[in-house]
Structure 1
Amino acid sequence: MAEMEDRWLSVGEICTYLGVSNDTVYRWIEKHDMPAHRVGRLWKFKKDEVDGWVKEDGAAEHTKRNPDKE
């Protein structure tokens, strides 16, 4: 039964687990180094890796100030 707990999660499953949209997960992969693994055309996730990333503030939305725009 332990093997089922350590299985790879799909984008939909990780979205449900984190309570965010698909677009948010894809943005986190691209811009915030979310731990994700490509399997063919699909992204897969390990829950413990994602948990560690979230705990290290990987999901925090950091805004960059652009002094030229002020």
Structure 2
Amino acid sequence: MLEVKAEQERRAQERARAEQSWKIQPRRSGEMAMLHCGGCGLYSARLGFLNREEAMIALVEPDIEPCQICNPQTGLEHA
């Protein structure tokens, strides 16, 4: 019982961290790399989350575009 509760707690913490982070979907042939909110389901990443400052830098890179579904730039506008 305690193990199940600990696992649920760990997953909840992981989700909370992802929601406050961003991630980059690597470039594929013919497509640009894409910046996503950490919780966006279009691209699943377990590692490599970006903080706010890193995401702001990524967003101005010419070869990275924001996801049109999760709109990661919205979360960057609010300090």
TM-score, normalised via structure 1 length: 0.30
Greater RCO structure (CA 8 Å; 6+ sep): 1
Greater helix share, structure number: 1
Normalized per residue, the structure richer in strand is 2
